[in-house]
Amino acid sequence: MADATTPGATPPPTAAPLTRAAASGSPAVPELVPTRPRRLWTRSRQVLLAGPIVGLLVVAAALAPFLSRADPNALNPRAKAQPPTFAHLLGTDEFGRDLLSRLLHGARITLIVGLSSVAVAAAAGTLLGSAAAYARGPVETGIMRVMDGLLCFPPILLGIFVVTFLGPSLRNLILVIAVLYVPRFTRVVHASTLAIRELEYVESARALGASAVRVVAGAILPNIVAPILVQASLAAGHAILLESGLSFLGLGPPPPTPSWGRMVEQSGRFMQLSVLPLLWPSAAISFTVLAFNLLGDGLRDLLDPRLRRGT
C-alpha cells in the first residue's frame, strides 16, 4: 500500500548480503536507510506525528505530581461530578476526585505496565528466538512449539486466569502481559536470525573462533534491532489495551490506585450523573494506543522499505 506520495518506487541502496537474504525468500532483514530530509516527512509522517505524542505522554506521566497539584485520591464530597473549573481543569469524578490528577497518575500505571511488560517480553523473546535459530535441532523445535501453544490462549483469558490466582497487583499484571507477548518477539527474532545466520560475515566471525554467545550478541543482534523495535511499539499498543481491559474487569492494580481501565468502569456506573469522567480516560486509552500503533506502523515503513504497510 505505497502512497502516491511515498517514493516506494525508488529502491533504497542495500548492502549485497541483505539483497541475497531477501531474494532467497527468507524474512527481510531491515536496515536504517539514509533518507534526505525532504523525504523524511513524506516517508515517516506517522513517526513524526506519533513520536512526539508518545514522548509527551512519557513526560506527562513522569511529571504527574508537578503538573497537577491535587491529590488523585483525595475525596471531596462537596465537589462531586463537577464540570471543568480553574480548580479542577478537567472536572471531578463522582467522588469529587480531581480528574486531571487521576488521568496523569493513571498514565504512569499505563506506561509502566505497557513499557516494562514489553521490555521483559522483548528481552526474553530475543534470548529464546536467537537461541532457537542459532542452535537449530530439538532446541528450536521445543522452543517454537511451546510458543505456538502460548499463542493459542486468548490473551485476556490467560490474563484473567493468572491474575485471579496470583492476586491483582502491578507486578503480576506486568508479568502476565510479558509472558503473553514473549511468543511474538521469539517468532520475529527467530525468523530474522535464521535469515542472517548463514551470511558471510557471521560465518567469518565463527571462523575466527567466536563463541556462540559472541556471534549472536556481536554479529547477529545488532542487525535485527529494527524488527524488534517495530514489534515492541506495536506490542506496547496491544499491551496497553490488555492492561486497560484487565483493569476494567477489576484485575489491575487494586484501588485507589488510579488506572485508566478502572476509571472507565467506575465512571461508567455514574454516566447518568456526568459523562466527562467517562470520556477522559476513554480518550486517554484510545489516543495512547493509537499513538503506539502509528509509531509501530511508521517505524516499519521507515526501517524496512521492503515490508509494505499492510494492516
Partner 1 sequence: MWTYLLRRLGLALVLLWVVATVLFFSIHLLPGDPALLILGGDAAQASPEQILRVRARLGLDRPLLVQYGAWLGRVLRGDLGTSLIDERSVAGDLANRLPRTLQLVVPATLLAVGLGVPLGMFAARRRGRLADPAASAVALAGFSMPVFVVGMLLVFVFSLRLRWLPPTGYVPPAEDLAAFLRHLALPVIALAAAPLATVMRMTRSSFLEEASRDFVRTARAKGLEERIVAWRHVLRNALLPVTSIVGLQVGSMFAGAVLVEYIFSWPGINALLLNSLGTRDYPVIQGVVLLGSVLFVAVNLLTDLCYGLVNPRIRHG
Nearer to partner 1, 20 or 306 (CB): 306
| Type of residue found at 84 | P
Nearest-approach distance from CB 214 to partner 1, in angstroms = 33
Nearest-approach distance from CB 57 to partner 1, in angstroms = 14
- Nearest CA to 242 out of 310, 126, 144, 162 is that of 162
Nearest-approach distance from CB 290 to partner 1, in angstroms = 4
Nearer to partner 1, 98 or 265 (CB): 265
| C-alpha separations of 59 from 3, 52, 66, 72 in Å | 33, 10, 11, 18
Nearest-approach distance from CB 153 to partner 1, in angstroms = 5
Cell of 207: 571462523
Distance of alpha carbon 115 from alpha carbon 295, whole angstroms: 14
- Nearest CA to 195 out of 46, 77, 27 is that of 27
DSSP three-state, residue 118: helix
Nearest-approach distance from CB 1 to partner 1, in angstroms = 4
Nearest-approach distance from CB 202 to partner 1, in angstroms = 31
Nearest-approach distance from CB 295 to partner 1, in angstroms = 12
Q: Which residues bind partner 1 (CB under 8 A)?
A: 1, 4, 145-146, 148-150, 152-158, 160-162, 164-167, 237, 241, 244-245, 248-251, 261, 264-265, 268, 271-272, 275, 278, 282, 285-287, 289-290, 293-294, 308-311
Nearer to partner 1, 193 or 293 (CB): 293
Nearer to partner 1, 197 or 298 (CB): 298
Contact between 121 and 184 under an 8 Å Cβ cutoff? The reply is yes
Nearer to partner 1, 167 or 218 (CB): 167
Nearer to partner 1, 215 or 264 (CB): 264
Nearer to partner 1, 3 or 200 (CB): 3
Q: How far is CA 285 from the centre of its chain?
A: 13
Burial of residue 111, with CB atoms counted within 10 A of its CB: 0-12 exposed, 13-18 middle, 19 or more buried: buried
| Helices (H), ranges, 63-98 | 64-67
Q: Which residues pair with 98 in a beta bridge?
A: 92
Q: Which residues pair with 92 in a beta bridge?
A: 98
Nearest-approach distance from CB 43 to partner 1, in angstroms = 17
Distance of alpha carbon 55 from alpha carbon 65, whole angstroms: 17
Element (H, E) at 205: helix 200-207
Contact between 18 and 226 under an 8 Å Cβ cutoff? The reply is no
Cell of 265: 468502569
Nearer to partner 1, 172 or 192 (CB): 172
